[in-house]
Structure 1
C-alpha cells in the first residue's frame, strides 16, 4: 500500500519515528508521500524522507498556516522544487473552515503553487475544507494540472468535476465512520482509477482509533473499510490504489532491494 498523505515529519512522531515506519512496513505500507506545511519545515521533511527508502517528499505552503508564510517563500519554493525534485507540490489549497479565514491571501498562495505545479509538470496535493467549489474554480483557471484533493469532503458532482480535470480523491480515516454516509456512497461506486488511500497521520484517525495519534500503519483500516464498501478483496484494492499512486506521483513500482 501507499499512504499518499502522511505528515511523518510532524513533531508528534519525534519520539518514535523509526518505530512508526517499521510498524507501517509490517502492515504493508511500503511507501509514503509526505507533504509539507510551512517553509521552515522543508529541511526537516527532506531529512526525514532521505532517512529511509519509500518516503517521498512534497513541498508547499498549507493554507491553515498563513501567519508563517511570506511572499518570498514562493521564490524559495520554486528553488526547492527545482533542486530537490519532489514527488509533488503541496500541501496547498484553501481552508474556509478556520475562524476568520483570509480568503484573498489563501487564494494568492494557492494560485501561485498551482502555477508552479503546472510549470514543473508535477502533481499537486490539495487541501479543500469548506472550499471545494473555490478549489475547482482555481484548478480550472490555472489549467493543465493533475493531482489529488486529499481527505475529499465534497459531493458526487464535485468529485466528477475533479476527475474530469485530472484530480484523484484521497480517502482516509473519515470513511471509516458510519455517519460519513455521503462519502461512503461516493467511495463505494466511484471509478477505481481515481481513488487514493491516505491517513493524514498524525491527524484524522479511523473510527476504531478515535482520539488517538494516527499513524501510517492504520491505513489497513481504511483499506478494509473501502474494500467492504466496494465488495472487493482488500488485496485488489491495495494493488489498484498503489498503481494509481505510482501513476500520479511517478513512484517506483516497488522498493528497491538493499
Structure 2
C-alpha cells in the first residue's frame, strides 16, 4: 500500500507477494509488491503498491516464452522487475531458469527498471550476471549468501534485503551485522510460511527495532535510511498518499 500521511518516515516492506493476500496491504506504509508469473503480474499491476512484474524461478518450469513477451509488453506500467533470479537449491531446469533470468536482465537494462532478486544458493552467479549485463539498480531479497560477496554487492551500489524472520533465523543476523545501513531494505516476503511462522508486513515494525539496536541509531533514523534506500533503488520518489 502507499498510504503514508507524512508523520515521520514511512515504514517500508520491499518484498511482498501481495497478490496472494491483499489483506496485507494496510500493515505498513509502503509495499513493494512482487509477482510470481504472468497471471500474478497482471494482478500486481492493479494494486496500490510499488509494482514488480516477472517470473519467479520456482514458476519458470510452467512458464512459456510467450509469457516473457507479454510481461515485457507490460513494463511501462511497472516500477520494477521481480521476483526474478536463479535458485540452485530447488529449481531443476537450471538452463531454462537462466534463460528466463537473462531475459529479465536485458529488460532491466533496456527499460531502465530495477530488479527485485531471488538468488538462493546462486548468489555469486546472480551477482556476476548483474555485472555482465551492466545492471545499475538491484536488490538481493532475503540475502543469506557469503559475507565476502556481500561486500562486493554493497560496493557495487546494490541493496540487501533484511527479512523480518531475523528473530527466528539467527544466521541472518550476521548479514545484518555486516551490512551498512546505506544498503539495507526491510522486507517480510509475506505471506511466506517460514518454520511455521506466516511472515507478514506487520513484522517489519519489530525488524526496525532489531536494526536500530544493531546499528546504534534510533528507529526513526532506520526508517528514514530505508526509505531513502528505496528511492535510490527505484530511481525515483514513489507517489505516496492521495487518491
TM-score, normalised to structure 2, is 0.88
Is 2:127 the partner of 1:136? yes
Distance 1:254 1:228, change over 3 A: farther
After TM superposition, the structure 1 = structure 2 runs for residues 93-242 of structure 1, keeping only pairs within 5 Å, are 93-98=85-90, 101-177=92-168, 179-180=170-171, 183-203=172-192, 211-242=196-227
Task: Say if 1:33 and 1:56, in contact at 8 Å, map to a contact too.
Answer: yes
Would the aligned equivalents of 1:117 and 1:124 in 2 still touch at CA under 8 Å? yes
Matches of 1:220 and 1:173, distance apart in 2: 9
Query: C-alpha offsets along residues 89-109 of structure 1, whole Å, 9 cap, x if unaligned?
Result: 1110011111x6211111101
CA separation in 1, counterparts of 2:29 and 2:170?
30
Contact 1:174-1:204 at 8 Å conserved across structures: no
Alpha-carbon distance in 2 for matches of 1:199, 1:189: 20
**1:191: Cα distance to partner?**
2.1
Measure how far apart 1:166 and its partner are. Answer: 2.8
State whether residues 150 and 170 of structure 1, in contact with CA within 8 Å, keep that contact through their aligned partners in structure 2: yes
Structure 1 position 21 matched with structure 2 position 25: yes
Matching of residue 2 in structure 1 with residue 12 in structure 2: yes
Partner residue, 2:3: none
Partners of 1:118 and 1:204 in 2: how far apart? 33
Match of 1:90 in 2: 82
Contact 2:177–2:214 under 8 Å retained in 1: yes
Unaligned runs of 5+ in 2: 1-10
Q: Is residue 33–residue 87 contact of structure 1 (8 Å, CA) maintained in 2? A: no
Shift of 1:87: 1.5
Q: State the distance in 1 between where 2:238 and 2:232 align.
A: 9
SS in 1 for 2:18: coil
Q: Give the count of matched residue pairs.
A: 233
* In structure 1, C-alpha distance between the alignment counterparts of 2:239 and 2:64, rounded to whole Å: 38
Per the TM alignment, residue 202 of structure 1 is displaced from its structure 2 partner at its CA by: 0.3
In structure 1, stretches of 5+ residues that fail to align are: none
Instruction: Give 1:231 shift.
Output: 2.2
1:25-67 deviation line (CA, Å, top 9, x unaligned): xxxx2110001111122222222x1xx4xx1111111101122
Which of structure 1's runs of 4+ aligned residues deviate more than 3 A? 250-254
Q: How far apart are the structure 2 equivalents of 1:254 and 1:104?
A: 38
The reply to whether residue 35 of structure 1 matches residue 34 of structure 2 is yes
Tell me the CA shift for residue 197 of structure 1.
0.4
